[in-house]
Structure formats: C-alpha cells, structure tokens
C-alpha cells in the first residue's frame, strides 16, 4: 500500500545482516521481500514461521514452550516499534473439574499493547489476531500473517490522530477453542472501558485467483458492516460479508455481545493446519490489501458505531 522508504531501507539492512550471517536462503519463488512486500510484514511472518530465516528459530507455535517463545518474540517486536507491550497471562480450567485433578489447567499468554486516544473519554477499539499454530504447522498464513497486520496497524496508528483507544492484541490458543481470546474478553470486562468494536484477522494469506478479495464476518452490527462497505468501495476492494458468530477469535467477541468483524481472505489456503503453511505460500499483496481496508475502517469509525448498534432480522444468525 504505502511506500515506506525508511522501511525498505531498514529491510535491506536487515537482509544484509542476515546475508552476512549466512542465513538467508533463496526463496522457492521469485518473491523478493525487500521489494515485493511490506518489510515489516515479511519480518514477522518469516520470523514466526521459519527457523531458516528467523535468527531465533521460531516455527511451530503449539506447545506451551513454543508459545512462550513466540510471545517473547512478539513483545520484542512491539517494543522495537515504540509500543509498550504487556503480557496477559491466564489460566483456563478443563471443562470437567474432575479432569483438573488429573491434568493441569490450560495456561497461556496474550500479548497486547494499548494506544491511548488523542483525547480523553474515548471508546475502545480492539484489533487482534492469534499467534499460536496447529501442532506440526508453522502457521505462516494461519496466522502469522494476521499477527503481522496487527503489529503493522499499531505502528501506523501511533503516527496519527486517534479518536479511540486502540488495543492491539495477539491471542494465544485460538487453535484450542479460542481459549486465549475468551480469557482476554473476561479481562476486558474487568476494565472500565466502553468497547466500540472488535476487528479480528485470521488467514489473510491466499489469493489464487488474484482478485484481492476479502471476506468479512460481521455479527450483530449492521452499522459496522456499513463502514466496511463504504471504505472498501472507496478503496476499490472487493468484500463479501457473511453473518454468524464467526469462525475464529471473532467468535469470542461476538459471543460477548460486542460489535465484531472477522477479516479473512476470501479463499482459504490449502496449506492451513499443514506443515506446508510456510511464508513462501503467503500472498503478501493480499495482506497489504487487508491492511489498507482495516486502516481505513479504523479511522472511519467515529460517529458511525458506538451506541448505534442495531440488529437486523436474520442478521447474526448462524451461517
Ligand atoms: Zn487461525
């Protein structure tokens, strides 16, 4: 989307360092991250999924140890961008209390950063994506790509007038029935914040027909859909809408009654949950389209949502 010379320069420098260290591998495709993608997107997608490219050797993010390493990586990435990351550690009991006697409760860590609104008294907008992956899958498309977009949007919104308090959150354990985002919703409810809306990214990674189309899962709020429709039309981005509670962490927010949008590519990658979900299968152009749309939505929300939520007949029904 936007050409960021300083980012490109930074990326080229980063590649030089990696080249000197002998760790840059020739990509399987002709894709060149220095020129063909947003360098920050590539840094995070590859950094989370490919130990050949990532100096810290991250890949699958499934076991507690792997997820903890990923959380630390993300804290560092957010901090490097001038944000103040925090760890939200949670415990979640097993469904049957008796099982708790045999198995330890689930534990995990959501990583989040808050950008306060430019003026006091503003409502809160949530922007999130999960960082864990299925066992055996490096999860580049599902969902390192979404993580990269959340971090990138946080950096962008840092530089602008902010009509809302924005909470950028990277969820643990989406692949375990969205335990991480459910715990985060419980945490949000302990705070004195009015939630305007939640925007959740998952599997924005595959665009075989090259149409740059996106799917938005909207629950509850027709006004929110109207904002997406308007911004997509202005930007010339094709968007299809589906109702229902959503199929990812957006479900946690929809179940809690928040106006929620789940943003996906309109094609599901055939590599999802497989060992082939590597960064060289990710469509970085689609990621830029998604970021452009979501940035537009996040700065177009004022006066449109917040108290104007309405449920239309048939809206929000299960698909
Ligand atoms: Zn996912």
What local confidence, expressed as pLDDT, does residue 36 receive? Answer: 73
Q: How far is the CA of 19 from the centre of ligand 1 (A)?
A: 31
Cα–ligand 1 centroid distance for 234 (angstroms): 28
Radius of gyration of the chain (CA): 19
Q: List the strands of the sheet with 165-171, edge to edge.
A: 86-92, 106-115, 165-171, 124-130, 195-201, 260-265, 214-219, 239-242
Give the integer Cα–Cα distance in Å for 198 and 169: 11
Distance 13 CA to ligand 1 centre (A): 31
Give just the sign of the alpha carbon dihedral 233, 201, 291, 121.
Answer: positive
Which residue carries 């890949």 as its tokens? 59
**Quick one: 92 exposed, middle or buried, by C-beta within 10 A (0-12, 13-18, 19+)?**
middle
pLDDT in single tens digits along all 319 residues of the chain:
333 333 433 443 444 334 434 344 444 556 676 567 899 999 999 999 998 887 777 899 999 999 999 999 999 999 999 999 999 999 887 777 777 667 767 899 999 999 999 888 889 999 999 999 999 999 999 999 999 999 999 999 999 889 899 999 999 999 988 999 999 999 999 998 999 999 999 999 999 999 999 999 997 678 899 999 999 999 999 999 998 788 899 999 999 989 999 999 998 889 999 999 999 999 999 999 999 999 999 988 865 454 433 433 333 333 3
Supply the pTM of this predicted model. Answer: 0.84
CA of 150 to the centre of ligand 1 (A): 14
Residue 306: what pLDDT? 45
Note the pLDDT of residue 82: 96
Q: What pLDDT does residue 285 have?
A: 93
Measure 202 CA to ligand 1 centroid, in angstroms.
5
pLDDT value, residue 78: 97
**What is d(CA 117, CA 11) in angstroms, rounded to the nearest whole number?**
30
- Report the separation in Å between the CA atom of 206 and the middle of ligand 1, taken as the mean of its atom positions: 13
Quick check: helix, strand or coil at residue 265?
A: strand
Fold observed for domain 64-298: Aminopeptidase (3.40.630)
143 C-alpha to ligand 1 centroid (Å): 5
């Amino acid at each position: 989307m936007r050409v960021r010379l300083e980012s490109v320069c930074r990326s080229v420098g980063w590649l030089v360092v990696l080249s000197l260290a002998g760790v840059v591998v020739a990509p399987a495709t002709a894709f060149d991250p220095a020129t063909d993608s947003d360098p920050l997107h590539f840094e995070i997608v590859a950094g989370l999924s490919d130990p050949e490219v990532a100096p810290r050797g991250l890949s699958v993010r499934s076991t507690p140890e792997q997820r903890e390493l990923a959380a630390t990586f993300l804290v560092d990435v957010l901090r490097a961008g001038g944000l103040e990351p925090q760890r939200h550690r949670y415990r979640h009991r097993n469904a049957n209390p008796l099982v708790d006697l045999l198995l330890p409760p689930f534990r995990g860590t959501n990583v989040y950063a808050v950008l306060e609104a430019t003026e006091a008294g503003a409502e809160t907008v949530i922007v999130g994506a999960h960082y864990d992956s299925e066992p055996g899958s490096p999860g580049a498309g599902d969902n390192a790509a979404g993580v990269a977009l959340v971090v990138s949007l946080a950096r962008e919104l840092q530089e602008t007038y902010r009509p809302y308090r924005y909470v950028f959150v990277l969820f643990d354990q989406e692949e375990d029935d969205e335990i991480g985002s459910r715990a985060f919703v419980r945490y949000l409810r302990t705070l004195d914040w009015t939630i305007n809306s939640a925007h959740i990214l998952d599997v924005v990674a595959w665009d075989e027909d090259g149409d740059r189309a996106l799917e938005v899962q909207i629950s509850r709020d027709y006004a929110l859909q109207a904002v997406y429709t308007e911004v997509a039309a202005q930007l010339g981005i094709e968007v299809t809408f589906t109702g229902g509670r959503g199929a990812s962490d957006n479900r946690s927010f929809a179940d809690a009654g928040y106006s929620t949008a789940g943003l996906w590519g309109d094609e599901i990658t055939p590599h999802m949950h497989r060992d082939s979900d590597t960064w060289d299968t990710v469509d970085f152009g689609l990621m830029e389209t998604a970021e452009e749309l979501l940035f537009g939505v996040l700065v177009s929300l004022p006066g449109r949502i917040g108290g104007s939520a309405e449920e239309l007949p048939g809206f929000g029904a299960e698909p």
